[in-house]
Structure 1
C-alpha cells in the first residue's frame, strides 16, 4: 500500500465516528440522487414514449410554411403598381397530386407513411348531435403509422375495408350515444348532406377528449362526405428513428413543398418544460450531496488541526507540500468511494421498491405503476458527482495541511 494511502486510512480509523457520519451522508445523498433521478427520468421517458407512439413523427399539411408568391409578382418583380387584397380562386383544398408525392416520401429510407383526409362533421343519433373530427384512412397503411389498432376494444381497422359505410368511433362517444357494434348513426357534413353509417369498431385511448370526438372511415367515403374527391390534406409519417424527425421533415418539405412538422417542433413547449424540470430536479438532488460534502470538510479539517505536529514531523523528514495534500485528498477519495458504493446499493434497493408500487388515482380505472429509469448513465452521474463533491470538500483542508510550516509548529508558534 502506498505510504500516502496508509497514512490516510490510519487517520480515518482514528476518527471512526466522524468518518461513519460522513460516509452515511454521502451514501444517503447518492441513494436519494439515484432514486429521484430514476423517477424523474422514468416519467420523462414514459411521457416521450406516449407522445411518440400516439402521434405521428411527422405530419405533412396541405399548406405552405411561407406565403406563395403570386404569378404577377414573379413576372414583374419591380412593378410600379401592386394589387392588394386580391381574392384567390375558390378551389378544393388538399395536397395536389398526392399519389406522386406519397411515392416520393415512401422512397426515403426508414419511413412509413399514410394519406389522410381530416375534416369536421356532425354526428346525429336519436335526436342528439355531436361535432366530430372525421378522418378518412386507408386501413393497411394506417396500421403501419398509427397506434389506433392497439387501442381497439371491439372490431378493427380491417372492418372498414369490408364495410364501405363503416365508421370507427371512440368508447366515450359510444357511451354518450349508447352505441354498440353494428349500430347505425347519421353523419352530416356541410357540403353533401347526411349519410347513414354503421359502427364497425370502437377504440379507447384513455384521452377523454379524443375518444369523444375522433372517428375514422374509409378514405374514399370521407372524400365523398367532405366533398373533396381525390384529395387528402395530410400525410402522417412514422420513422425508424423518431429523433431524426427534424431533419427528415425538412428534407420532405424541400422535396414536395408542403409544410412538414416534426413531433419535436409540434411539442416544443412541452420539451422545454421537461428541460426546465430536469434542471430543477438535478439542482435539488445535487444540493443533498453538497450538504453531505460539508461533513467531509469538517472531518478532514478536524484531522488537520489535530495532526499538525504529525504533519510537521512528516514534512521535516522529507514529505513535500504535494505529499501532504495527497494524504488528505486520499481521505476525501476514500470516503467518496465507499459512500458512493453504499449509496448505489441503497439507491438500487429504493428503485426496486418504487418499481413495484401500484397507484390507482381517483376516477382512473387502470392501475398505474411508477416509471423507473434503469439507465447506467445515472449511476455513473450519481457516483461521479459524489466523488467530485468529496474531493472538492477535501481540497481546502488538504491545501491548508500542505501550507503548514514545520518549524513554526515544532517551536509552538500559532
Structure 2
C-alpha cells in the first residue's frame, strides 16, 4: 500500500494529535505500549521454552547418548560382539560400553543415594569441560579415584581429596548373612553437568573399577549410542533392534524422556496461545483509539472529502495510522524481549531479592540456570502475527472514516 505525499502528510498529522487531542494521543500511546509488552512477553517466554528444551536435550543426550542398548537381566555378557555390530550400523557415530548402578555412599556420617557410573577412558575425557574442581586425568584404572556431581559434593560436604565410602549391598556371603561390600574412594574431581538430578547423584569412575565394585566380572550393563540424526534415531537403529531381539532392548532418548519432553511441548503450545490472546487484547486498544480519532476528526474528514480526497485515500490514511502504531509496538517489543533475555539471570536474581522467593529452584526446574534460545523464525512469526492483528484492527475505523458523508456532517456548519 503506497501512500501519496498528501496521504502520508495527513497520516503523520493524525499519528501526532494536537494539543486538544491529548486524550487520543494517550490512548494511542497505551496501545503502542500494550502491543510492545505483548510481543515482548511472547518473545521472552517462547525463547525460554526453546532454551529449556534445547538445554535439557543437550545435557541429557550429551551424557547418555541418543539411545541405550540394555541386556535383559541387566548384564550384557557378549558385549564385545554387540558393540562391534552397533559400530558397524550405518548412521551410528559413537558407541561405548557403560555400567550404571544405583548404590549408596557415606561421608562423615552423611548417607546419600547415588548412581555409580563406569565409563571408558574416552568417555571420561568428554566430561573435562564440566569439571568445577580437580582433574579427570586422575581417574585411572586401579587408582580408586572417582568424580562426583557438584550437588552430591555439597550434600555430603565433600571436597577434592576427601575419601568417600561406596556401599554395594551385594557383598560376600558369611554364616551370618550377606555383608555389604564397602570400598573407599578418593574424590579426584567435582563436575557439574547442569541438571540437578544428575549433579546430586552421579559418581563416575573407570569401567574396570566399576566392574570390581559391582562384582560383575567382564560384563557391562549397557551400551550408549550416538547417531547422525537424533530425531531419526529409531529409524537408524531399527535394523540393529531386530538383530538383537531376544537378547537386548534398544531404548532411544524419546522413550526414556517421553513424559518430560511431551510436557514441555504441551506447555509451549499453551503459552503461545495464551500470550497470543494478550497481543490480541492489546491490538483492541488500537481499534478503540482509531474509533475515537475518527469521531474527533469527522468534520476534518468531511472537509477533506469536499476538497477532493477520495474514499480510498481516507481508507489508506487511517489504516496507515493504526498499522504504524502496531508496527512500532512490535519492533519495540522485540527489542525489549532481547534486552530482557540478555539480562535474564540478573533480573531473576533481582526479583528474588525483592520478593524473598527462590524463583529458580534447580531441584524443581532440572537446570541450574534460566536458559534461553531465541528462534529467528519463531520471532518472525510473532512479528507477522502482531502486524496482521494490527492491520485487521484498523479496517473497521478506516471504513467508517471512508464512508463519512460530507453533506450530512457539514449541513449545519
1:61: which partner in 2?
A: 69
CA distance in structure 2 between the partners assigned to 1:350 and 1:303 by the alignment: 34
Aligned-pair CA distance for 1:63: 4.9
Choose the corresponding residue for 1:32, options 8, 26, 37. 37
Q: Is 1:222 paired with 2:210?
A: yes
Choose the corresponding residue for 2:96, options 114, 119, 126. 114
Q: Is 1:271 paired with 2:271?
A: no
2:81: which partner in 1?
A: 100
Aligned-pair CA distance for 1:117: 1.9
Note the alpha carbon deviations across 1:131-189, whole angstroms, 9 max, x for none: 54333221213433xx4761352341x43324354444446369648686374746435
Alpha carbons 1:38, 1:373 under 8 Å: kept? no
Alpha carbons 2:43, 2:382 under 8 Å: kept? no
Q: Is 1:163 paired with 2:142?
A: yes
CA distance in structure 2 between the partners assigned to 1:343 and 1:211 by the alignment: 37
Choose the corresponding residue for 2:239, options 249, 254, 279. 254
1:390: which partner in 2?
A: 390
Evaluate the alpha carbon distance shift between residue 306 and residue 183 of structure 1 in structure 2; reply closer, same or farther with a 3 A threshold: closer
Evaluate the alpha carbon distance shift between residue 189 and residue 13 of structure 1 in structure 2; reply closer, same or farther with a 3 A threshold: closer
- Measured on the aligned residues, the alpha-carbon RMSD in Å equals 4.3
1:67: which partner in 2?
A: none
Choose the corresponding residue for 2:295, options 305, 318, 326. 305
Evaluate the alpha carbon distance shift between residue 109 and residue 356 of structure 1 in structure 2; reply closer, same or farther with a 3 A threshold: same
- Equivalent residues in 2 for 1:68-87 (5 A)? none
Evaluate the alpha carbon distance shift between residue 192 and residue 42 of structure 1 in structure 2; reply closer, same or farther with a 3 A threshold: farther
Alpha carbons 1:112, 1:239 under 8 Å: kept? yes
Aligned-pair CA distance for 1:266: 2.7
Choose the corresponding residue for 1:140, options 118, 122, 139. 122
CA distance in structure 2 between the partners assigned to 1:125 and 1:308 by the alignment: 82
Alpha carbons 1:203, 1:211 under 8 Å: kept? no
Choose the corresponding residue for 2:286, options 293, 296, 300. 296
CA distance in structure 2 between the partners assigned to 1:176 and 1:340 by the alignment: 50
Alpha carbons 1:164, 1:218 under 8 Å: kept? no
2:177: which partner in 1?
A: none
CA distance in structure 2 between the partners assigned to 1:184 and 1:10 by the alignment: 77
- Equivalent residues in 2 for 1:278-293 (5 A)? 278-293=268-283
1:77: which partner in 2?
A: none
CA distance in structure 1 between the partners assigned to 2:332 and 2:104 by the alignment: 63
Alpha carbons 1:185, 1:196 under 8 Å: kept? yes
CA distance in structure 1 between the partners assigned to 2:406 and 2:157 by the alignment: 91
CA distance in structure 1 between the partners assigned to 2:204 and 2:333 by the alignment: 52
CA distance in structure 2 between the partners assigned to 1:59 and 1:323 by the alignment: 63
Evaluate the alpha carbon distance shift between residue 344 and residue 121 of structure 1 in structure 2; reply closer, same or farther with a 3 A threshold: closer
Aligned-pair CA distance for 1:332: 1.5
Evaluate the alpha carbon distance shift between residue 355 and residue 134 of structure 1 in structure 2; reply closer, same or farther with a 3 A threshold: closer
Alpha carbons 2:141, 2:206 under 8 Å: kept? no
- Residues paired across the two proteins, number: 377
Alpha carbons 2:35, 2:283 under 8 Å: kept? no
CA distance in structure 1 between the partners assigned to 2:238 and 2:104 by the alignment: 33
CA distance in structure 2 between the partners assigned to 1:269 and 1:220 by the alignment: 34
CA distance in structure 2 between the partners assigned to 1:346 and 1:61 by the alignment: 46
Aligned-pair CA distance for 1:116: 0.5
1:9: which partner in 2?
A: 12
Q: Is 1:20 paired with 2:8?
A: no
- Equivalent residues in 2 for 1:170-185 (5 A)? 170=149, 172=152, 176=156, 181=161, 183=163, 185=165
Q: Structure 1 residues 189-198 or 55-64, which shifts more?
A: 189-198
Q: Give TM-score, length-normalised by structure 1.
A: 0.71
Aligned-pair CA distance for 1:395: 0.8
1:334: which partner in 2?
A: 324
CA distance in structure 2 between the partners assigned to 1:223 and 1:309 by the alignment: 90
Note the residue ranges of structure 2 that are not aligned, 5 or more in a row.
174-180, 363-367
Note the alpha carbon deviations across 1:232-264, whole angstroms, 9 max, x for none: 222223456xxx423124422432444333334
Aligned-pair CA distance for 1:61: 3.4
Aligned-pair CA distance for 1:102: 2.5
Evaluate the alpha carbon distance shift between residue 396 and residue 186 of structure 1 in structure 2; reply closer, same or farther with a 3 A threshold: closer
Choose the corresponding residue for 1:231, options 219, 223, 230. 219
Evaluate the alpha carbon distance shift between residue 260 and residue 34 of structure 1 in structure 2; reply closer, same or farther with a 3 A threshold: farther
